[in-house]
Chains A and B, each alone.
Chain A
């Protein structure tokens, strides 16, 4: 019940396309859902986050869509660029510090 399931494991997108990464959870107590971007050899960097009281949050080319009833949330990267090639992690927490991370999606954007 503490798991966050992330898919796909890897994703290849053409430059300019839309990258979509999905996460699903079981624990209805989760109330904070961040996305992190990690480049090889670097630490995860907070990209965007959402709370369950909104269904969508947009920051630049990055959008989180949140479906509370389905217990799913997704990251959309619009106009994907080669510089977006990285591993993306979703996470969830239940009002506390303990993040439960997904297993990651390795995104490759082709030039």
Chain B
């Protein structure tokens, strides 16, 4: 029974490049959440998605960041034209059905380093 999977685990990008982070939720989970964790800080909510729908992107920067959760395949968090301040750990979480369970299960994260 695989947990939430994220890849890559580590990603190094030069300033101005694009970063693409992938998340496969737990089996049977249809809700995906992305969080960002800066060094020595707690996690900050970025976006909540269901299949083919963005439900809440209020925590996501308006520019350069986008997220999707297609009908088939993993959820993707995309950061265009990365800057040094984007260096952080990005965590994906999933839950079975919002409203029935508040529990969110986190993946191992993708550590993005922008050089």
| Per-position binary interface string of chain A over residues 79-110, scored 1 when its CB falls under 8 Å from any chain B CB and 0 otherwise | 00000000001000100111111111000000
* Residue in A34, A46, A100, A104 whose CB lies within 8 Å of B41: A104
* Residue in A46, A96, A101, A104 whose CB lies within 8 Å of B103: A46
Could you count the A-B residue pairs with CB atoms below 8 Å apart for me: how many are there?
Answer: 58
**Minimum CB distance partner of A93 in chain B:** B102
In the assembled complex, A44 has its CB within 8 A of some CB on chain B: yes
Residues on A with beta carbons closer than 8 Å to the beta carbon of B98: 96-97
Q: A32-B102, A89-B43 are contacts. A43–B31 as well, Cβ < 8 Å?
A: no
Residues on A with beta carbons closer than 8 Å to the beta carbon of B56: 97-98
Residues on B with beta carbons closer than 8 Å to the beta carbon of A49: 102-103
Alpha-carbon distance A41/B59, docked complex (angstroms): 23
B95 in contact with A104 (CB, 8 Å): no
In the assembled complex, A45 has its CB within 8 A of some CB on chain B: yes
B4 in contact with A97 (CB, 8 Å): no
Alpha-carbon distance A101/B104, docked complex (angstroms): 13
Q: A43-B4, A44-B91, A97-B33 are contacts. A34–B43 as well, Cβ < 8 Å?
A: no
A46 in contact with B48 (CB, 8 Å): no
Q: A43-B108, A44-B91 are contacts. A101–B43 as well, Cβ < 8 Å?
A: yes
Would you list which residues of chain A between 36 and 74 have a CB under 8 Å from chain B?
36, 41-46, 49
Residues on B with beta carbons closer than 8 Å to the beta carbon of A89: 42-43
* Residue in A32, A44, A99 whose CB lies within 8 Å of B45: A99
In the assembled complex, B107 has its CB within 8 A of some CB on chain A: yes
Given contacts A44-B43, A101-B35, could you give 17 more A-B pairs where the C-beta distance is less than 8 Å? Answer: A34-B102, A34-B103, A34-B104, A43-B91, A45-B106, A46-B105, A46-B106, A49-B102, A93-B102, A96-B98, A97-B31, A97-B48, A98-B56, A100-B45, A101-B44, A102-B42, A103-B42
